[in-house]
Structure 1
Amino acid sequence: MLELLLIRHGQSEADLLGVHEGRADFPLTCLGRRQAGLLAEFITEHYPPDMIWASTLKRAYETAVITADRAGCGLKADERLMEFNNGVLAGMSREEAGIRYPEPPEGRKPHERIEKGESMLEMRFRAETVLSELLDDAEQKGFKRIAAVSHGGLISMLILALLGLPNTSTRLFATGDTGVHLFKLDHKRRVAMFLNSQRHLPDELLG
C-alpha cells in the first residue's frame, strides 16, 4: 500500500497579524521555523518520504524545504496545492473583511466566488486533480510513501476527496501548525491511520 502524508505548514506571520491569509503570501515566523524543524526530525525518523510535493506559497514551501533537506528526498512545487483562493480577502483584517465583504448568513453557495477568488467547487476540482496526479506519479515511480505540504483549507478538501465525501459535507478536518495526517491507499481501500498529529511539538510550540 502507498502511504500518503498530508502536512500543514508551520505558524506564519499572518497568524500573528490576525488577517485573512488564503493566497496572501506570508513567510513562517521564528516559531514556525522551529515547528518545521521538529516536524522534519519526526518525519525523517518515523515516516521518511520518497518525494514531497509542496504548495508554492512561502509558508508551505519553506516548511517543505526544511523537511525535504532533513529527509534527503526530492521536492516538487505545485501551485495547485496552494490555499483556497480568497480573492480580495487575502491579507485583509478580519474586521475590515466583515464590514466590506460580509458572508451571507447561510454561507456562500458551492458555485459562488468572492471577488477575484475561487468557488468551493473550483477548489474541489483542483484538489481532485492534483491528488490524482500525485498518486499516479507515485505508482509510476514505485514510491512507497509520499508527502504533500499544503494549507488547512486545501488539506481538508484533499481529505474529503480521499474519502469520497462531497465538498458540501459538514465534516471538516482541522489541521494545526505542522499537523500530519497519514493515509494508506491501494486500489481497493483508503485507510486513515491518524489525523492531525502534532506529537512532534511540545506544548509551548503548539502555536
Structure 2
Amino acid sequence: MELLIIRHGQSEADLLCVHEGRADFPLTKLGEQQARDMAAYVTEHLPPDIILASPLLRAKSTAETLQKSVGCDLLLEDDLMEFNNGVLAGLSREEALIKYPLPPDGRPIHVPIEKGESELELRFRAEVIFNKIILDYQSYNRVAIISHGGLISQFIKAFLQQPNTSEYIFATGDTGMHLLEIKENARVIRFINKQEHL
C-alpha cells in the first residue's frame, strides 16, 4: 500500500502573513496553478486509486483539481484538517503576539491554544487518521492524501512510529509530495517533499 501525501497549493493567508490553521482561506491564482501542475504530474506518474482530503478550502480545491485529472473518488476527512489554532485563526502575526503572547518558556505540548487543540492532541489525531487509513483503505494500491503542513508532519511521525515528544519536523512546500509505502514487514520512504512539478 502506498500513501501519496500532498500539501495544498498556496493560499491567500500565505500572502497576508496571518495565522492560518483553521481559518478557511482559498487558494491564490498561483495556488490554483500549482494544483494543476501537481495534478498533471501525479496523473502521469503516480495516479491514486482514491483521494482523501481535508475539507478546508485550500486542501479541498487542490484535491478537486487532482480528482478531475485522475477521475477517481474523492472523500473528505475532518481529521485531515490543519492544527486547530483556536483564537489565532485568521489573526495577523503581530496582533496575535499582542493578544495571545506565548508563555516565557513556550506552551507545553499538552496545553491547548484557547478554543483550539494542543500539540499532543494534534499528534493523537494524526495517529488516529493514519491508522484509520491503513485499515479502512488497505485494499487500495495507492491512496492520495491532501492535507496541511502541520498535520502532514505529524502524519509522517505516525508512519515512522516516533514518540509523542519527537522534535523532528517534516516540512512540506506548496503542493509538495511525500510517497510512503507500507509493506508486510517494512515501512519505506520513497521520497519526501518532491516539488519537481513546479
TM superposition score normalised by structure 2: 0.97
**How far 1:124 sits from its partner (Å)?**
1.3
Where do residues 20-31 of structure 1 align in structure 2 (5 Å cutoff)?
20-31=19-30
Sequence identity percentage: 59
**Contact map agreement 1:120 1:167 (CA 8 A) in 2:** no
Structure 1: distance between partners of 2:196 and 2:164: 29
Higher deviation after alignment, 120-129 or 156-165: 120-129
Higher deviation after alignment, 5-14 or 101-110: 101-110
Structure 2: distance between partners of 1:96 and 1:77: 32
**Contact map agreement 1:86 1:117 (CA 8 A) in 2:** yes
1:5 pairs with 2:15: no
Higher deviation after alignment, 122-131 or 150-159: 122-131
Structure 1: distance between partners of 2:100 and 2:120: 20
Partner of 1:54: 53
1:177 pairs with 2:174: yes
Pairwise CA RMSD: 0.9
Q: C-alpha deviations, 1:48-107, integer Å up to 9, x for none?
A: 000010000000000000001101111000111000000000000000111111122432
Partner of 2:135: 136
1:93 pairs with 2:92: yes
Structure 2: distance between partners of 1:168 and 1:105: 20
**Contact map agreement 1:9 1:60 (CA 8 A) in 2:** yes
Unaligned runs of 5+ in 2: none
Structure 2: distance between partners of 1:105 and 1:189: 42
Partner of 1:145: 142
Higher deviation after alignment, 97-106 or 16-25: 97-106
SS in structure 2 at match of 1:88: helix
Letter in 1 for 2:184: H
Structure 1: distance between partners of 2:128 and 2:8: 21
Q: How many residues align?
A: 198
Structure 2: distance between partners of 1:167 and 1:82: 19
Where do residues 118-137 of structure 1 align in structure 2 (5 Å cutoff)?
118-137=117-136
SS in structure 1 at match of 2:52: strand
Higher deviation after alignment, 37-46 or 121-130: 121-130
Unaligned runs of 5+ in 1: 202-207
Query: After TM superposition, what 4+ stretches of structure 1 lie above 4 angstroms from structure 2?
Result: none
Structure 2: distance between partners of 1:190 and 1:16: 37
Partner of 2:196: 199
**How far 1:170 sits from its partner (Å)?**
1.7
Letter in 1 for 2:38: L
Partner of 1:69: 68
